[in-house]
Amino acid sequence: MSWFSHPKLPAPVQAYVDATPKRIGGKRPVEDLHFLVIDAETTGFNVQTDKILSIAAIHTEHGQILLGRSKSWLVFQDHVAVNEAVRVHGILPSDTKNGQPESQVMEELLPELHGTILVGHHVGFDAALLDVALYRRFGIHLRNPILDTASLAMQAIDAFARTGYANQRPPSLDEVCAHCGIAMMDRHTAAGDAYTTAELFLLLCARLRQRKKRAIVAGDLPLTSV
Amino acid sequence: MAANVIPERIAEALRRFPPFSMLPEADVRALAAEATVRVMVAGERVWKQGDAPGNELLFLARGRVEYVWQVEERSELVDVRDVGDVLGLTALLKAEPMRVTAQVVEDSVLFGLPWLPLKALLEVHDAARNYARRHLFWATRVGGVVALPEPTEDTIAGRAKNILQAHLDGAQTIQPRPGVNILTCTPEDSIHSAASLMAARRLPSILVIDSERRPIGIVTNGTLVQEVVVGSVSKDDPVKRIMVSPVVTVSAGSSATAALLVMLRRRIGQVCVTADGTTNSPVLDICSEKDLLAQSGHHPAGLLREFRNARSPARFRELCDDVEKIARSYLEAGVSAIFLGQMCAELYDEMVQRLLVLTAEELAEAGTPLPKVSWAWMSVGSDGRREQILRTDMDNALVFASSGVTDQDEQTRKALLGLASRVVAKLVDAGFARCQGGVMASNPRWCRTTSEWIEEMESLNAHTDGDELLRALVLYDMRFVAGDAVVADIVRKSVIDSFARNNELQHRLAELIVDTAPPLNFFGRWVVEKLGGRQEGFDIKQRGMAPLRDAARLLTIHHGLTQRHSTGGRWDELRRNVPRLHELAPLARDSYDVLLRLRTLNGLRRGDSGRYIDPASLTKLERAQVANIFDVVRMVQDSVKLEFSLAHRA
């Protein structure tokens, strides 16, 4: 524990902090890293006001998705409006009543985050919401490094490579999957999208491996943080 | 925590393919919940030859993987794994290192399933275990030794219920025969006149009707015996004194099977068909057990009777269509094609006998009766082996006793050729195709005297040209159908002897069997060949059936087992008499059975001989089955190599 960390953290939170370095050494083989692929369905697209309705987390280690350890939660949120987002994921205000309170979901999710790199498609938004929710519950910020499969796709697949064109936007999950021939599983559910993203992530790593003609290391991945 | 849909999706994907389709859903879901998923791109290796098997069975959910075998400085493609296939089963089952390198050739998604629980499941579920066990056969491609399962005798018993099922499925409704002349009398007619009518028409019963043709009673043979012969009723009394009343009636259009059951339950020999099914409407027909049996879902026994009574070409054609219909429903119910072939042979033999009788009558009427010479009509080739289910190709031949005088023999031949060409024409009318190779009794080359046949067979040697050899093999599979069995036996003995004593000839046949290389597997529309090539469409007859058929013939010749005519029967004989083939023979027999069935169904679907199969039309299970069969073919070839000490060929 470093001297500037929060003095009186509860044990589970301290464990998370201890187990989760903010940076990953660039030379560490990707094969040895632990990734957590996440996807969240939300009430909308505003980090400050919108909330998580459901979230799924899938572990990948040694280049394999571990289904036995994958988890998903439905989150109870008060005052949910039927808006554009609801039309996409189809989680109705009545459904969220069956969910668990957000604080409890964060307690269950926290141990899953230990020492992982968070992976997702356009994961920045999901990670930001998660960061807010963690702060609400534990008063800490998300520490995990973040990897966006949209950025990874731009790096691993020529069709999505950066063009320098100012208005180029990162490819959507549908676009990348269509290009790679990945079948989407239960689109617009947290679990389905997380699984699809996990498969895509493994494929992109394999493509990168093939392109570099060597085992890839953390430094090959476009890692960021919240 | 919300229910996780992912394992469920994985389980759904698994359950579309064997062996998972043979396991309970809940167990597959439990496996899926613990699954791992990996993604590999073309050019990567799933494992290297010699790697340890790990603790997971891999399932190929997407993509394609090729097995490459490194042997003596070269590498050989030995199998292709396609969507739905499992990888690494052999190594896991036998707890041995990987025999081949698994090379990804298309981006692949692999599900890893925990091996220990899966192994436990396979131990409890027979169908899945048998599938897994057969899967092991492929290891023979890479020099593996496979323990063949002990043969069982369950093939016949296990299918009995399916035959019944086929009857019920094909069951028909009672159709009153239009214009049928029902034997009737009035209640006031004398018993004697009614009995005379029955005797004249040779019918077991007479129906007593009122003025509006409504049935009021029935008099049967049994009634006559009981009341008149044994009892004291005078034969001059009116029939109403002895008739059985009321009459049991069924309505037109009701189930023929149900009517049969009514008769069985009430212990009566016939039911009366009326318009409304009661005695208040006029009689339409009267059906005996036999009539109904013939109607209650084409029964072969009924057809046999029909063949015996048929006369017109149109009727023979109709009956042959019925045979094909039965064949289809039996095959679809999973009946062995070998048994079915035996059944069809009985029916077609009956028809040929009938056609020969009719034609002989025609010739006699035309003033050109057959010469008084012993002759025999024989089925040869596939027909001789009782494997002709479809009317694709007739194969027949004639033999007649030689008089010793050439001119007289030529005269006899001319007369018999006249008979044969008429019969062949009638067979063509009934829907049979003329043999492309001219193997027909109407061809002088296939209509010969006993001494001509013997001479030809005795001249066979290792240098006989291909056509002559083929001719001898076709003749080898001969079977007596009609005429004088003695002359047919003379030919049969001669052809068997000439093969049995000629080792060089057998050696040559062995080489022919070993020369056909069975393919490795199917991928999509493609057939994957050992040398890496692929081709579209697949000749199941030449590539799969021929080696099994020829090996059965050759091995029985070699071991002096000449009692049986059919490929199935020959393998049975080999299993019983040749200890070395005890395990392999039943596998070869079953494999031949499956191919014959596949080919026949394919032929029924496409309206041809069915020998060319589009691999894409096969289900996953059929493909797996056929790929297994290629392995059996390879084992049979190895066995022939061993028997005849042939050098190993690639």
- Determine phi and psi for A119, rounding to 5 degrees: -125, 140
Whether B539 and B639 share a structural domain? yes
Please check whether residue B453 lies inside any domain of the structure: yes
Distance of alpha carbon A198 from alpha carbon B298, whole angstroms? 57
Please check whether residue B468 lies inside any domain of the structure: yes
Taking CA atoms, what residue in A is nearest to B106? A181
Paired with B79 in beta bridges are B67
Which residues of chain B have a CB within 8 Å of the CB of A210?
41, 43-44
For residue range B326-356, list pLDDT tens digits in order. Answer: 888 778 777 788 888 888 888 899 899 999 9
| Average pLDDT, integer, range B59-74 | 86
Please check whether residue B524 lies inside any domain of the structure: yes
pLDDT band at A123 (very low <50, low <70, confident <90, very high): very high
Question: Does B631 have pLDDT greater than 90?
Answer: no
Residues in chain B: 650
Contact A185 B6 (CB under 8 A): yes
Which residues of chain A have a CB within 8 Å of the CB of B32?
67
Q: H helices of B398-530, where?
A: 406-429, 450-458, 466-476, 485-500, 503-515
Distance of alpha carbon B200 from alpha carbon B404, whole angstroms? 50
Higher-pLDDT residue of B255, B250: B250
Question: Do residues B103 and B90 lie in contact, with contact meaning Cβ atoms separated by under 8 Å?
Answer: no
- State the DSSP H helix or E strand holding residue B90, giving kind and residue range, or none if neither: helix B89-94
Rg (C-alpha) for chain A, rounded Å, is: 18
Q: What pLDDT, on a 0 to 100 scale, did the predictor assign at position B160?
A: 40
Question: Does B467 have pLDDT greater than 90?
Answer: no
A212: three-class secondary structure by DSSP:
helix
What are the structure tokens assigned to B546, written together? 């021929």
- State the DSSP H helix or E strand holding residue B605, giving kind and residue range, or none if neither: helix B584-606
Contact A195 B109 (CB under 8 A): no
Contact B39 A199 (CB under 8 A): yes
Q: Residue B12 is which amino acid?
A: E
Please check whether residue B129 lies inside any domain of the structure: yes
Taking CA atoms, what residue in B is nearest to A181? B107
| Average pLDDT, integer, range B39-55 | 91
Interface with A, mutate which of B12, B29, B36, B111 (most A CBs under 10 A): B36
Total number of domains in chain B = 4
How far does B47 lie from chain A, in Å, by closest CA? 14
Q: Looking up tokens 């910020």, which residue turns up? A: A141
Facing B107 at nearest CB: one of A64, A181, A186: A181
Distance of alpha carbon B640 from alpha carbon B578, whole angstroms? 13
Q: How many CB atoms lie within 10 A of CB B81?
A: 25
Q: What pLDDT, on a 0 to 100 scale, did the predictor assign at position B179?
A: 62
Q: Looking up tokens 């070998």, which residue turns up? A: B338
What are the structure tokens assigned to B265, written together? 């339950």
Which residues of chain A have a CB within 8 Å of the CB of B6?
58, 67, 70, 185, 191-192, 195
Facing A67 at nearest CB: one of B36, B39, B107: B36
Whether B512 and B485 share a structural domain? no
Q: How many CB atoms lie within 10 A of CB B606?
A: 13
Contact B39 A183 (CB under 8 A): no
Distance of alpha carbon B135 from alpha carbon A110, whole angstroms? 45
Q: What pLDDT, on a 0 to 100 scale, did the predictor assign at position B38?
A: 92
Distance of alpha carbon B637 from alpha carbon B518, whole angstroms? 10
Q: Mean of the per-residue pLDDT values for chain B?
A: 84
What are the structure tokens assigned to B10, written together? 């994985």
Whether B476 and B343 share a structural domain? yes
Q: Which CATH number belongs to the domain containing residue B199 in this structure? A: 3.10.580.10
Q: What is the DSSP letter of A217?
A: B
For residue range B192-213, list pLDDT tens digits in order. Answer: 999 999 998 888 889 999 988 8
Question: Is the peptide bond prior to B7 cis by the omega test (within 30 degrees of 0)?
Answer: no
Q: How many CB atoms lie within 10 A of CB A27?
A: 8
Whether B291 and B234 share a structural domain? yes
Chain A, chain B: beta-carbon pairs less than 8 Å apart: 79
What are the structure tokens assigned to B372, written together? 């008084």
Distance of alpha carbon A93 from alpha carbon A74, whole angstroms? 12
Q: What pLDDT, on a 0 to 100 scale, did the predictor assign at position B162?
A: 46
Please check whether residue B609 lies inside any domain of the structure: yes
Which residues of chain A have a CB within 8 Å of the CB of B107?
180-181, 203, 206
Which residues of chain B have a CB within 8 Å of the CB of A70?
4, 6
Q: What angle do CA B103, B105, B106 make, to 5 degrees?
A: 135
Q: Which CATH number belongs to the domain containing residue B431 in this structure? A: 3.30.460.10
Q: Residue A19 is which amino acid?
A: A
**Residue where a domain stops, chosen among B242, B265, B295:** B295
Which residues of chain B have a CB within 8 Å of the CB of A66?
36
Q: How many CB atoms lie within 10 A of CB B515?
A: 11
Contact B38 A108 (CB under 8 A): no
Distance of alpha carbon B429 from alpha carbon B421, whole angstroms? 12
Contact B44 A206 (CB under 8 A): yes
Please check whether residue B149 lies inside any domain of the structure: no
B146: nearest Cα among B158, B159, B128, B132:
B132
Q: Mean of the per-residue pLDDT values for chain A?
A: 89
Least confident range of A121-135, B18-32, B262-276, B408-422: B262-276
Distance of alpha carbon B410 from alpha carbon B432, whole angstroms? 28
**Residue where a domain stops, chosen among B91, B112, B142:** B142
Contact B4 A203 (CB under 8 A): no
How far does A1 lie from chain B, in Å, by closest CA? 32
What are the structure tokens assigned to B490, written together? 């003379």
How far does A139 lie from chain B, in Å, by closest CA? 23
Q: Looking up tokens 């009427």, which residue turns up? A: B365
pLDDT band at B293 (very low <50, low <70, confident <90, very high): low
Question: Is the peptide bond prior to B246 cis by the omega test (within 30 degrees of 0)?
Answer: yes
CA B10 to chain centre: 38
**% of chain B residues with pLDDT over 70:** 89
Contact B6 A67 (CB under 8 A): yes
Please check whether residue B307 lies inside any domain of the structure: no
pLDDT band at A51 (very low <50, low <70, confident <90, very high): confident
Interface with B, mutate which of A64, A67, A69, A202 (most B CBs under 10 A): A67
Q: What angle do CA B429, B434, B437 make, to 5 degrees?
A: 175
Facing A210 at nearest CB: one of B2, B38, B41: B41
Facing B5 at nearest CB: one of A183, A186, A205: A186
| Average pLDDT, integer, range B600-619 | 82
Higher-pLDDT residue of A94, B353: B353
Domains of chain A: 11-224 (3.30.420.10)
Whether B415 and B527 share a structural domain? no
Question: Do residues B570 and B554 lie in contact, with contact meaning Cβ atoms separated by under 8 Å?
Answer: no
Q: How many CB atoms lie within 10 A of CB B51?
A: 15
Q: In three state form, how does the secondary structure of B526-552 look?
A: EEECCCCCEEECEEHHHHHHHHHHHHH
Question: Do residues A123 and A147 lie in contact, with contact meaning Cβ atoms separated by under 8 Å?
Answer: yes
**% of chain B residues with pLDDT over 90:** 32
Paired with B538 in beta bridges are B613
B interface with A, Cβ–Cβ below 8 Å:
1-2, 4-7, 9-10, 32-41, 43-44, 62, 107, 109, 112
Taking CA atoms, what residue in A is nearest to B3? A72
Whether B469 and B383 share a structural domain? yes
pLDDT band at B47 (very low <50, low <70, confident <90, very high): very high
Which residues of chain B have a CB within 8 Å of the CB of A38?
none
For residue range A54-76, list pLDDT tens digits in order. Answer: 999 999 999 999 999 989 999 98
Contact A210 B40 (CB under 8 A): no
Question: Do residues B254 and B278 lie in contact, with contact meaning Cβ atoms separated by under 8 Å?
Answer: no
Distance of alpha carbon B399 from alpha carbon B237, whole angstroms? 60
Please check whether residue B312 lies inside any domain of the structure: no
Q: Which CATH number belongs to the domain containing residue B76 in this structure? A: 2.60.120.10
Contact B5 A192 (CB under 8 A): yes
Distance of alpha carbon B423 from alpha carbon B427, whole angstroms? 6
Contact B4 A191 (CB under 8 A): yes
Q: How many CB atoms lie within 10 A of CB B161?
A: 11
Paired with B274 in beta bridges are B251, B283
Higher-pLDDT residue of B251, B547: B547
Contact B39 A100 (CB under 8 A): no
A221: nearest Cα among A158, A157, A147, A164:
A147
**Residue where a domain stops, chosen among B492, B522, B549:** B492
Q: What pLDDT, on a 0 to 100 scale, did the predictor assign at position B26?
A: 92
Higher-pLDDT residue of B465, B120: B120
| Average pLDDT, integer, range B535-556 | 86
Whether B514 and B451 share a structural domain? no
Contact B40 A73 (CB under 8 A): no
- Cβ partners under 8 Å of residue B464, min gap 6: B472, B505
Whether B387 and B273 share a structural domain? no
Residues spanned by the domain of B222:
184-295
Distance of alpha carbon A74 from alpha carbon A70, whole angstroms? 14
Q: What is the b/e burial string over B531-542, where b = at least 16 CB atoms within 10 angstroms of the residue's CB?
A: eeeeeeebebbe
Contact B62 A203 (CB under 8 A): no
Question: Does B158 have pLDDT greater than 70?
Answer: no
Whether B340 and B487 share a structural domain? yes
- Cβ partners under 8 Å of residue A223, min gap 6: A24, A117, A145, A146, A147
Facing B33 at nearest CB: one of A68, A192, A210: A68
Question: Do residues A17 and A43 lie in contact, with contact meaning Cβ atoms separated by under 8 Å?
Answer: no
Facing A189 at nearest CB: one of B5, B7, B34: B5
Whether B99 and B10 share a structural domain? yes
Whether B433 and B551 share a structural domain? no
Q: How many CB atoms lie within 10 A of CB B109?
A: 22
Question: Do residues B343 and B352 lie in contact, with contact meaning Cβ atoms separated by under 8 Å?
Answer: no
Which residues of chain A have a CB within 8 Å of the CB of B62?
181, 183
- Cβ partners under 8 Å of residue B542, min gap 6: B516, B611
Q: What is the DSSP letter of B1?
A: -
B52, exposed or middle or buried, with CB in 10 Å at 0-12, 13-18, 19+? exposed
Which residues of chain B have a CB within 8 Å of the CB of A119?
none
Which residues of chain A have a CB within 8 Å of the CB of B112?
64
Which residues of chain A have a CB within 8 Å of the CB of B103?
none
Least confident range of A70-74, A94-98, B94-98, B449-453: A94-98
Q: Which CATH number belongs to the domain containing residue B613 in this structure? A: 1.20.120
Question: Do residues B303 and B365 lie in contact, with contact meaning Cβ atoms separated by under 8 Å?
Answer: no
Distance of alpha carbon B582 from alpha carbon B574, whole angstroms? 7
Question: Does B650 have pLDDT greater than 50?
Answer: no
A31: nearest Cα among A4, A60, A9, A53:
A60
Question: Does B176 have pLDDT greater than 70?
Answer: yes
Contact B2 A73 (CB under 8 A): yes
Distance of alpha carbon A58 from alpha carbon A195, whole angstroms? 7
B384, exposed or middle or buried, with CB in 10 Å at 0-12, 13-18, 19+? buried
> Of the ranges A2-6, B155-159, B552-556, which is most confident?
B552-556
| Average pLDDT, integer, range B131-139 | 75
DSSP structure string for B349-405: HHHHHHHHHHHHHHHHHTT-PPPS--EEEEE-HHHHTT---SSS---EEEEE---S-
Least confident range of A33-47, B124-138, B405-419: B124-138
Contact A206 B41 (CB under 8 A): yes
Whether B138 and B10 share a structural domain? yes
Question: Do residues B316 and B324 lie in contact, with contact meaning Cβ atoms separated by under 8 Å?
Answer: no
Facing B7 at nearest CB: one of A64, A67, A206: A67
